[in-house]
Amino acid sequence: MKIPTTLLKINADPLSFYWSKSTWFLWVILPVILLQFVFIMAWSFADQFDQSSYVVLQQDLFIEFNHYLAVLPHSLWLNMTYMGDGLVIFALFSFMLIIRAQAWAAMFASILIASVVTNVGKAYFLMPRPAVVLDNDSFFIVGDVLIGFSSFPSGHSITISFVFISMLATLFACPETIKEKIFLLLGLFILVLFCISRVAVGAHWPLDIIAGAGLGWLAALIGVSIARNYTTWWQCMLCGKRRFILAGLLMILSIILIVRVFDEFNVAPILILAAAVSLYVAFVLIKFPATLTEKYAKTE
């Protein structure tokens, strides 16, 4: 397999168009509104952000929404919610390495921030999962019954959000054509679907996923900024023999996902698809022509 040199050079060159204040405002305003909504709801309608008031505030909405979403097949929601699994979504979106590596770099740069936000938030708020406080027969539970006090914010929603926004904000920061606007809106729509799957499977309260989406979005914007302003580190990953290391990691990731199929057969479709994409990208990286990095190898 040989990738056209022109495509490789386009992929290697960073998208360095200028982000004006208005561009930043448009990308930041929505997640800020989402987070403000969550805390306004929590404090204005419940007086205080504690476990009991948090549950009472939205338990009826959760049950109604959960039942409404149950019109679609449970297997569909279960496979969709696995997009919030870090290994699955990074394997699935590894194709960005050969299409637009900067978008993948933005995702990678967001991981640490998103992980810290997720773990600190869950440890600090200690909100109960729906299955802890509600009669489990009153709503649909798809997959494992998740218990414990780690509901807020939704880690899956954070992961899904920072991956999608990293890609969309890199590729379509300032959409100009109708085609670009359609792709941006379609990406945001799919992001919403994957996030609400956490309610569909009975794992999270509505405010959990709204907060998770907002936090993941902000983490993604930090990753996008890092990938735009510091390009050498992610370009070097495609340079020379370094690409073989990256290809090897993707191969290992695909093997891990295939092994998981035997224990998580209900989500075999998404696991197999993610493993196949990861394996294909690894193969393409190995077959990259040397011209990919000529421009940057001179600077090393």
Q: Which helix (H) or strand (E) holds 171?
A: helix 155-171
Q: Is the overall model pTM greater than 0.75, yes or no?
A: yes
State the average pLDDT over residues 147-153. Answer: 91
Q: Is the peptide bond before 153 cis (omega within 30 degrees of 0)?
A: yes
217 and 30 Cβ atoms separated by less than 8 Å? yes
Residues 214-265: tens digit of each pLDDT: 999 999 999 999 998 888 888 887 777 788 889 999 999 999 999 999 988 8
For residues 51 and 57, give the distance between their C-alpha atoms in angstroms, rounded to a whole number: 10
Residues 33-71: tens digit of each pLDDT: 999 999 888 776 655 667 788 888 899 999 999 999 999
For residues 271 and 255, give the distance between their C-alpha atoms in angstroms, rounded to a whole number: 10
Which two three-digit tokens encode residue 164? 């999608």
92 and 273 Cβ atoms separated by less than 8 Å? yes
**Other beta carbons less than 10 A from residue 10's beta carbon:** 12
Distances (CA, A) of 1 to 50, 78, 96, 239, 284: 57, 35, 17, 18, 7
Q: What is the DSSP letter of 127?
A: P
Stronger pLDDT, 174 or 288, i.e. the higher one: 174
What string of H, E and C letters represents the secondary structure of 42-65? HHHHHCCCCHHHHHHHHHHHHHHH
Which two three-digit tokens encode residue 24? 């930043």
In the chain, where the domains are located: 23-231
169 and 221 Cβ atoms separated by less than 8 Å? yes
Give whichever of 123-127, 171-175, 182-186, 291-295 has the largest mean pLDDT.
182-186
Quote the pLDDT of residue 238.
78
